[in-house]
Structure 1
């Protein structure tokens, strides 16, 4: 489908279900997409952090995009991550995901190499020139070790290079400055500002954000759709109550023992365990070399689901 002039709403970063031998579980992926679409989400983002894109070989990335775009069949926009270290490698991913049907691409700053803002700008300009679909910036300093400067993002938006940004920086003050900057510049139009902070969606929308890209939205898309609707209706008390319920549910991401696994293993393992417990995916396997949750840790996830009314 053609991407809307300005992307808004709930756009979950879709988990990638895997089989026990670490192949893409296409049947479970289709069920997950139906689970999200049936909840009323406004778009889908594949091959992001929650999709475990960094762990997936290129053939798995291709399978994910082809499966999702074919199944959605234009009902919703599908954004695809084109994430890699440097411009030539990302350009190849842009070509691959757009050939597979993606409606937009999502791109980080270069990483591994140490880059200057001028090089980051050149990176985005080159990719926009090569891409047949809109380009969204992915501000993810925890992973790429570069915080995208707000002025740079707005300049690139004014040039028509960027269609929006997914802000996963954790810098709420910086995100607010970006929102204010976009509002103050008449040359910035149709630029979507999406928060990736699933715990503060109500406040981000109150500040003027266009939407949310919540990893927890895989587990409870209905909750995020209700939250978004309440905010848009000005029902801030209802939004606060829904947000606080989702905050309690999010505590499942701490189910993994930090003495034996990292935060990514714990969070992604919790999302997949929750989807498995809810009957959406067949297997909660996470990609190598992440540590799998133990039965006891999965039990913690189950208790969080039950408390949230999802079991």
Structure 2
């Protein structure tokens, strides 16, 4: 259900997985596994792809590896679906360089957070997104991720930037359902509202969100496509049942949580699941993340089997 021309005035909708970045055992980008992952997602019926986001381990990837990911995915997709590129970095000048690279690689849109590390004011955040919009030749999507950038993008700021044409949409990973609803209710111009939550997609779609950007969609794209399709048909009971199955599957991210950080546990779980499903060759995560052990991988396998994926 993605629009055919997201550079125009229409709205980006549907299931847009944030593509994981498979790595080799020596922590290089595994391009063969990456193209298989892309094929797995396209076969699942997704509407677009988002590379170089949190699930892509963008915070860990040197610029050269970011470019390998961009070139590999845009080249392999060949225009079948839009590819959005994360241009996430600490400050505006650094982001603008990522914008240039993404546009040259053929990205259909770019995704940016508020500045971080530096302490910013809403005036500076507003200027940040306006400068990105001025520099980009493609639509700009805000990524509301306060857990990582320590700034919540307010509904008023998002709607102001939407009304002036600086933003084409938002990926909301804030966990603030009230704020999400304010954006949905307040938008006037075409503006894509995409939830980043794996576990409340049916609720967000019922409120009027346009789509979902689920990290778990790497593991089970078909499930999220079924969920979105059920919601689009107004079959909310089927959507709820599919959502509840995915909630149970999402327990994979907690398997390693007792002895490692959330990034290691979550991203490691996605990659372990993809490895167990035969999609990627190696479940390695970028350093210094803690790898899952054999017992934890076996637990993930049991959760995959319970979800009908093994």
Once the two structures are TM-superposed, the CA of residue 3 in structure 1 deviates from its matched residue by 2.2
CA distance in 2, matches of 1:296, 1:25: 25
CA distance in 2, matches of 1:73, 1:147: 35
CA distance in 1, matches of 2:61, 2:257: 24
* Aligned pairs for 1:5-84 within 5 A: 5-84=10-89
* Aligned pairs for 1:146-295 within 5 A: 146-182=151-187, 188-258=188-258, 260-295=259-294
CA distance in 1, matches of 2:148, 2:283: 24
**Does residue 107 of structure 2 align to residue 96 of structure 1?**
no
Q: What are the superposed Cα offsets for residues 178-211 of structure 1, whole Å, 9 maximum, x if unpaired?
A: 11111xxxxx322100000110000000000000
**Paired residue total:** 305
SS in structure 2 of the partner of residue 50 of structure 1: helix
CA distance in 2, matches of 1:175, 1:191: 13
Q: TM-score, normalised by structure 1?
A: 0.97
Once the two structures are TM-superposed, the CA of residue 2 in structure 1 deviates from its matched residue by 4.1
Q: What are the superposed Cα offsets for residues 54-84 of structure 1, whole Å, 9 maximum, x if unpaired?
A: 0000011000010000110001000000000
SS in structure 1 of the partner of residue 84 of structure 2: strand
Which of structure 1's runs of 4+ aligned residues deviate more than 3 A?
none
Greater shift in the superposed pair: 274-283 or 172-181: 172-181
* Uncovered stretches (5+) of structure 2, i.e. residues with no partner: none
SS in structure 1 of the partner of residue 55 of structure 2: coil
SS in structure 2 of the partner of residue 61 of structure 1: helix
Q: What are the superposed Cα offsets for residues 26-52 of structure 1, whole Å, 9 maximum, x if unpaired?
A: 000000000000110000000000000
CA distance in 2, matches of 1:204, 1:117: 26
CA distance in 2, matches of 1:191, 1:257: 36
CA distance in 2, matches of 1:255, 1:168: 22
Q: TM-score, normalised by structure 2?
A: 0.97
* Uncovered stretches (5+) of structure 1, i.e. residues with no partner: 183-187
CA distance in 2, matches of 1:99, 1:264: 30
Once the two structures are TM-superposed, the CA of residue 97 in structure 1 deviates from its matched residue by 1.1
**Does residue 86 of structure 2 align to residue 87 of structure 1?**
no
CA distance in 1, matches of 2:155, 2:261: 30
CA distance in 2, matches of 1:245, 1:165: 26
CA distance in 1, matches of 2:216, 2:138: 27
**What is the match of residue 297 of structure 1?**
296
Once the two structures are TM-superposed, the CA of residue 173 in structure 1 deviates from its matched residue by 1.2
CA-atom RMSD, angstroms?
Answer: 0.9
**What is the match of residue 185 of structure 1?**
none
SS in structure 1 of the partner of residue 54 of structure 2: coil
